[in-house]
């Protein structure tokens, strides 16, 4: 069985990563990794769908037993990717999508060298400010904090394989979708998987 691929999407807060992921999950048959967070739910967010909302104690307990593939502190809250769900999906041949921050992505790079890293850029800093403001969930102080963090995140672009500018959601989602399709067409890196593929043809003689 050829293992699934791991796609990691990062980008500044408010850039529209969530909307892009949402569009692609069903369309590309991806498994979305639901993260755990100690952040409080925003209006409309569902436990188990957007995040698993947990207490700091629960988070630490999972962290201590090495239950996260990666975790990071982002804007004062903890976020972590549950390890088991992902490894099960990948082992069963399913492609998995992670929406995580740059610290998390850089940590995933250390352990998963065949993961594909995609960065979502805003059309401009002014547009990013407008989008975060329109969400109506940030104070002026936290808006400025998120914008400085955005510039820091963008400065890590060289660690990624692809970058997509989210000016128009449909276009950006189609471009990320094209990356996923292209990666699915790659000749497998593992010689065992290539042999398996070739053997399917040999079996047909
Ligand atoms: P938000 O609170 O706006 O939903 O997310 C804040 C940031 O945390 C976003 O950049 C998001 O990609 C990131 N994030 C969400 N889940 C995880 C995770 O499991 N690990 C890491 N490292 N970052 C995450």
- Quick: pLDDT tens for 138-195: 888 889 988 999 999 999 999 999 999 999 999 999 999 999 999 999 998 889 989 9
**Ligand 1 closest atom vs CA 104:** 22
Rounded distance between C-alpha atoms, residue 162 and residue 177, angstroms? 12
- What DSSP string describes 55-112? -HHHHHHHHHTT-EEEEEEETTEEEEEEHHHHHHHHHTT--EEEE--HHHHHHHHHH-
Is residue 96 within 8 A of residue 33, CB to CB? The reply is yes
Tell me which residues have their CB closer than 6 angstroms to ligand 1: 13, 35, 39, 70, 72, 74, 79-81, 99-101, 103-104
Q: Is 137 a residue whose pLDDT tops 90?
A: no
Residue with tokens 């999508």: 97
Q: Is 41 a residue whose pLDDT tops 80?
A: yes
Q: How far is CA 174 from the centre of its chain?
A: 16
How far, in Å, from the CA of 183 to the mean position of ligand 1?
24
How far, in Å, from the CA of 52 to the mean position of ligand 1?
12
The arithmetic mean of pLDDT across residues 46-56, rounded, is 96
Question: Which carries the bigger pLDDT value, residue 165 or residue 14?
Answer: 165
What CATH code would you report for 6-33+94-202?
Answer: 3.40.50.300
Rounded distance between C-alpha atoms, residue 114 and residue 95, angstroms? 12
Q: % helix / strand / coil in the chain, to the nearest 5?
A: 45, 20, 35
Beta strand extents in the chain (DSSP E only): 6-10, 31-32, 36-37, 52-53, 68-74, 77-82, 96-99, 116-121, 162-165
Reading the block at residue 29, the tokens are: 């048959």
How far, in Å, from the CA of 36 to the mean position of ligand 1?
9
Task: Specify the pLDDT at position 67.
Answer: 97
């Amino acid at each position: 069985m050829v293992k699934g691929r791991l796609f990691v999407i990062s980008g500044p807060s408010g850039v529209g990563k969530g909307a892009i992921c949402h569009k692609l999950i069903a369309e590309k048959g991806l498994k979305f990794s639901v993260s755990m967070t100690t952040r409080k739910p925003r209006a409309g967010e569902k436990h188990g769908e957007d995040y698993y909302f947990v207490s700091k104690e629960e988070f630490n307990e999972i962290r201590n037993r090495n239950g996260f593939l990666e975790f990071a502190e982002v804007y004062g809250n903890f976020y972590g990717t549950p390890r088991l769900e992902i490894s099960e999906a990948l082992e069963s041949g399913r492609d998995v999508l992670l929406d995580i921050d740059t610290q998390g992505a850089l940590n995933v790079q250390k352990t998963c060298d065949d993961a594909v890293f995609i960065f979502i850029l805003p059309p401009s800093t002014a547009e990013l400010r407008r989008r975060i403001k329109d969400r109506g969930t940030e104070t002026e102080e936290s808006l400025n904090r998120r914008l400085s963090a955005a510039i820091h995140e963008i400065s890590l672009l060289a660690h990624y394989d692809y970058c997509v500018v989210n000016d128009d959601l449909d276009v950006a989602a189609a471009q990320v979708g094209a990356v996923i399709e292209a990666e699915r067409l790659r000749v497998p890196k593992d010689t065992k998987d290539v042999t398996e593929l070739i053997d399917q043809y040999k079996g047909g003689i």
